[in-house]
Chain A
Amino acid sequence: KAGVTQTPRYLIKTRGQQVTLSCSPISGHRSVSWYQQTPGQGLQFLFEYFSETQRNKGNFPGRFSGRQFSNSRSEMNVSTLELGDSALYLCASSQTVSGELFFGEGSRLTVL
């Protein structure tokens, strides 16, 4: 059974640009969560989607947005990138809302 797949794995952007990250959950999993991981702040919750609806949202500015498609695949977008957005962005899928999380390997974003 394939795990959670995130693309791209690495990317470099400059300040002011925008970025879209993609996540394909484990087959059958309908919940997708996104986290930002940095050395100083650790793992911080961005948002959770279930059946195309955002169920929970963390304390991030409106520049961070996401969506989920009918096949449970999810994308997150960050607009007007700032240096502080450099981080590892992790996607996790679960069968239910707040169920056991299965993480992907992450997308490492560097903002110059």
Chain B
Amino acid sequence: QKEVEQDPGPLSVPEGAIVSLNCTYSNSAFQYFMWYRQYSRKGPELLMYTYSSGNKEDGRFTAQVDKSSKYISLFIRDSQPSDSATYLCAMHGAQKLVFGQGTRLTINP
């Protein structure tokens, strides 16, 4: 069993929809939770970073962490075609950083 599980998709939604991306994890030592966005032929870039359980908002993006369920989510409101990318969750703890497999998202105009 992988330490971090993420559905690779692909996920395709119409423009303007709310997108929900999720990851589950098994290692209780993970304390920091991140979401990276990776455009085609580019390296990943940090999108959001959270430490505690709860919600964190940044514009159209909301990151949610539920440590009791070992479950994290990224919500994208009013999705745009420019949001089309692969989204990777990442978790840090016990001196290691582990990435999810990434979910490929396409926003259709």
Interface of A toward B, CB cutoff 8 Å: 4, 35, 39, 41-45, 56, 90, 92, 98, 100-106
Contact = CB atoms under 8 A, between A and B. Distances in A.
A64 B53 CA distance: 37
Which 7 residue pairs of A and B lie closest in terms of their CB atoms, listed nearest first? A103-B43, A42-B101, A43-B99, A103-B44, A105-B43, A104-B43, A90-B43
Contacts of A101: 44, 46, 97
Contacts of B45: 102-103
A98 B41 contact: no
A90 B43 CA distance: 7
Contacts of B98: 45
Interface in B90-109: 92, 95-102
Given A45-B96, A56-B96, 15 more contacts: A39-B8, A42-B6, A42-B101, A42-B102, A44-B99, A45-B97, A45-B98, A56-B95, A98-B95, A100-B49, A101-B44, A102-B45, A105-B41, A105-B43, A106-B43
A43 B43 contact: no
16 contacts: A39-B8, A41-B101, A42-B88, A42-B99, A42-B102, A43-B88, A43-B99, A56-B96, A90-B44, A92-B43, A101-B44, A102-B46, A103-B43, A104-B43, A105-B41, A105-B43
A39 B8 CA distance: 9
Contacts of B100: 42
B60 interface: no
A103 B42 CA distance: 9
Contacts of B101: 41-42
A98 B43 contact: no
Given A42-B88, A43-B88, A98 B44 contact: no
Interface in B6-41: 6, 8, 41
Nearest to A4: B43
